């Protein structure tokens, strides 16, 4: 065989989330500490493909990423054609914990990007005992609007090419064209209305700053890592959020944008490998 | 910055394909000088420099010359690499009928990217 086959495997699991069974697609590679990855709004698990092909990661981590219902190759619920998709904080939290429990992951490290990074902040606060560490990529504790919410009523939000163009500037000009454009292709692939549905969580139902600063350190280690080119979750948003979580560490990534794992995998590993090494060294 | 914009756009068949359903006029403002970019069926047919007396347009993107200069660098500093980065940080203003801008968002962003090339 002459083809270069990647070490990633993809499978489907039937998982109950808040009373409904979903057919969930997930990919994984490696063995060791489970590293559960959450993709961005309107995208899917392929964003983590580089980590899954990096032996420096997979030699000690089992990297797992699943497509949220409605995304990628995961199905929407039965009857989707008669409903409007709106992601809520409760469903997102429930889906993540249900997936982890169903696969019997032992206190995984949870790492999410963008809306996944926002969820990680909440998971660390409310469910820290279920995770050995939480890594929020481009994550903060509240929406930081950079476009008007009224735009959501425009039908363009149902178009993948629009979603890609909306977020294109969030990728850094220092990222390789190949990977920046692949990242945007994921937005082109998004199902009609899915990005908009994710925005319900990201713009409205994730005002976690209202939880106030935590009095105690989270049960898990918390890392918030943000690219300096990110104007959706700015470095200032991240540093402000880290101050509300005792023991949390904020890391600002130079020359990086909003999609570190997929837009600039080589640069990202310079930042993520030391964090993963630090987590692996913690006696759990 | 706007020198040769008509020709640069004309040299890109894919840009015209993206904007083939777009006929509009929008404004790029540099300090107090307003430039009207006239588009017909995806082609930039004219770039007109003001001042104008109530000439109609769809939307405007205005910024100080220093902000546009940073935007036009091959690798702009954070906050200047995209029109939304500039509006988000207050380096530029997007005003007018944003629906036209959103309908053809990739097309308009690609036109702005042409400003980065030497005329």
Residue from the list A156, A170, A231 with its beta carbon closest to the beta carbon of B89: A231
At residue B9 the predicted structure's pLDDT band, cuts being 50, 70 and 90, is very high
Place of tokens 């904020």: A250
ipTM: 0.96
- Print pLDDT tens along chain A (284 aa): 899 999 999 999 999 999 999 999 999 999 999 999 999 999 999 999 999 999 999 999 999 999 999 999 999 999 999 999 999 999 999 999 999 999 999 999 999 999 999 999 999 999 999 999 999 999 999 999 999 999 999 999 999 999 999 999 999 999 999 999 999 999 999 999 999 999 999 999 999 998 877 777 778 999 999 999 999 999 999 999 999 999 999 999 999 999 999 999 999 999 999 999 999 998 55
Residue A152 has, within 13 A of its CA and on its CB side, a CA count of 18
User: Which chain B residues touch A if contact means CB-CB below 8 Å?
Assistant: 74-76, 78-79, 81-85, 87-89, 98-99, 102-103, 105-106, 109
Nearest-by-Cβ selection for A229 from B78, B98, B99: B78
User: Does residue A134 sit in helix, strand or coil?
Assistant: strand
- Please name the member of A146, A156, A164 whose beta carbon is closest to the beta carbon of B88: A146
**What pLDDT does residue B77 have?**
98
- Say which residue, B9 or A282, is predicted with more confidence: B9
Whole-prediction pTM value? Answer: 0.97
Q: Can you give the pLDDT at residue A283?
A: 59
Q: What phi and psi, each to the nearest 5 degrees, are found at residue A182?
A: -65, -40
What value does the mean pLDDT take over residues B111-117?
Answer: 95
pLDDT digit string, tens, across residues B31-76: 999 999 999 999 999 999 999 999 999 999 999 999 999 999 999 9
Rounded CA separation B4/B66 (Å): 20
Interchain CB distance below 8 Å, A173 and B76: yes
Q: Let me know: does B60 contact B26? Beta carbons within 8 Å.
A: yes
* C-alpha span between A101 and A96 (Å, rounded): 9
End-to-end Cα, chain A, rounded Å: 42
pLDDT bracket for residue B119 (50, 70, 90):
low
Give the model's pLDDT for residue A284. Answer: 54
């Amino acid at each position: 065989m002459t083809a270069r086959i990647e070490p990633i495997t993809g499978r489907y699991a039937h998982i109950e989330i808040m009373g409904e069974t979903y057919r969930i697609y997930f990919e994984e590679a490696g063995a060791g500490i489970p590293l559960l990855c959450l993709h961005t709004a309107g995208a899917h698990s392929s964003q983590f493909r580089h980590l899954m092909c990096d032996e420096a990661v997979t030699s000690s981590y089992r990297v797992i990423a699943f497509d949220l219902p409605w995304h990628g190759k995961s199905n929407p619920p039965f009857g989707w054609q008669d409903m409007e998709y709106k992601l809520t904080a409760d469903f997102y939290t429930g889906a993540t914990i249900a997936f982890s429990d169903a696969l019997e992951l032992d206190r995984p490290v949870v790492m999410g990007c963008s809306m996944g990074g926002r969820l990680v902040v909440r998971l660390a606060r409310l469910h820290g005992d279920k995770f050995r560490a939480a890594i929020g990529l481009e994550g903060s504790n509240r929406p930081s609007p950079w476009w008007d919410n009224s735009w959501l009523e425009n039908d363009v939000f149902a178009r993948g090419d629009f979603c890609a163009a909306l977020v294109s500037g969030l990728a850094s000009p220092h990222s390789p064209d190949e990977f920046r454009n692949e990242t945007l292709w994921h937005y082109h692939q998004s199902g009609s209305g899915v990005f908009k549905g994710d925005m319900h969580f990201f713009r409205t139902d994730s005002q976690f700053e209202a939880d106030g600063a935590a009095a105690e350190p989270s049960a898990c280690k918390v890392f918030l890592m943000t690219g300096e080119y990110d104007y959706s979750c700015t470095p200032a948003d991240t540093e402000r959020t880290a101050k509300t979580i005792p023991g949390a560490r904020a890391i600002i990534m130079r020359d990086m944008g909003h999609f570190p794992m997929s837009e600039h995998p080589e640069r990202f590993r310079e930042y993520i490998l030391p964090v993963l090494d630090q987590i692996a060294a913690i006696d759990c | 910055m706007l020198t040769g914009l008509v020709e640069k756009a004309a040299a890109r068949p894919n840009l015209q394909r993206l904007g083939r359903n777009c006929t509009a006029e929008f404004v790029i403002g540099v300090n107090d000088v307003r430039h009207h970019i006239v588009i017909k069926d995806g082609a930039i047919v004219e770039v007109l420099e003001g001042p104008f007396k109530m000439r109609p347009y769809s939307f405007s993107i205005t910024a100080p010359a220093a902000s546009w200069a940073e935007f036009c660098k091959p690798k702009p500093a954070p906050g200047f690499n995209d029109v939304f980065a500039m509006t988000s940080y207050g380096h530029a203003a997007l005003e007018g009928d944003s629906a036209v801008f959103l309908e053809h968002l990739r097309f308009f962003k690609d036109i702005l990217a042409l400003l980065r090339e030497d005329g």
